[in-house]
Amino acid sequence: MTVPPRAPAAVSALDPRQAVAAGPAIDAATEAALADQAARVVAAVLATTPGTPAHDQACRDVRTMGDDDLRALAAAAERVGALTARALDGPALAPAGVLTAAVEALHAALAPAAPSRRRLFGLLPARRGPSTPAARLGSVADDVAAALASLRAARDVLARDAVALRLDQERHAGTTGRIARFARLAALVDAGLHDAPTSPATSVQNPMTDTALMTDPTAGPASLDEAQSAARHRHAELVTALAVAVQGDLALDQLVRTDDALDAAADRAIRTASAALDAATAAGGLGTAAREAAEAQTALTSAFEALAGIEALHADARTAVSATGRVLTTTAPLGS
248-296 tens-digit pLDDT: 999 999 999 999 999 999 999 999 999 999 988 887 644 444 577 678 8
List pLDDT tens digits, range 13-25. Answer: 998 889 999 999 9
CATH topology for 16-330? Hemolysin E; Chain: A; (1.20.1170)
Nearest of 224, 202, 199 to residue 212 by alpha carbon: 202
CA-to-CA distance for 310 and 329, rounded, in angstroms? 28
Neighbouring CB atoms inside 10 A of 242's CB total 29
Paired sense of beta strands 204-205 and 212-213, if any: antiparallel
Contacts of 319 (CB under 8 A, 6+ apart): 7, 10
* Cα 226 → chain centroid: 39
Q: Is 285 helix (H, G, I), strand (E, B) or coil?
A: coil
Rounded mean pLDDT of 232-251? 95
204 touches 213 (CB < 8 A) = yes
Q: Is 213 helix (H, G, I), strand (E, B) or coil?
A: strand
Output the DSSP codes for 170-185: HHHHHHHHHHHHHHHH
Contacts of 223 (CB under 8 A, 6+ apart): 50, 198
1 touches 316 (CB < 8 A) = no
Domain ranges of the chain: 16-330
Please indicate whether residue 227 or residue 288 has the higher confidence score (pLDDT): 227
Nearest of 95, 131, 127, 91 to residue 273 by alpha carbon: 95
Residues 257/262/265/269 CA torsion (nearest 10 deg): -160
CA-to-CA distance for 68 and 50, rounded, in angstroms? 27
Quote the pTM value.
0.81
* Cα 109 → chain centroid: 43
Output the DSSP codes for 82-128: HHHHHHTSS-TTTHHHHHHHHHHHHHHHH-TTSPPS---S--SPP--
List pLDDT tens digits, range 67-103. Answer: 999 999 999 999 999 999 988 888 889 999 999 999 9
pLDDT category of residue 108 using cuts at 50, 70 and 90: confident
Number of residues that make up the chain: 336
Tell me which amino acid residue 190 is.
D
pLDDT over 70 at 117, yes or no: no
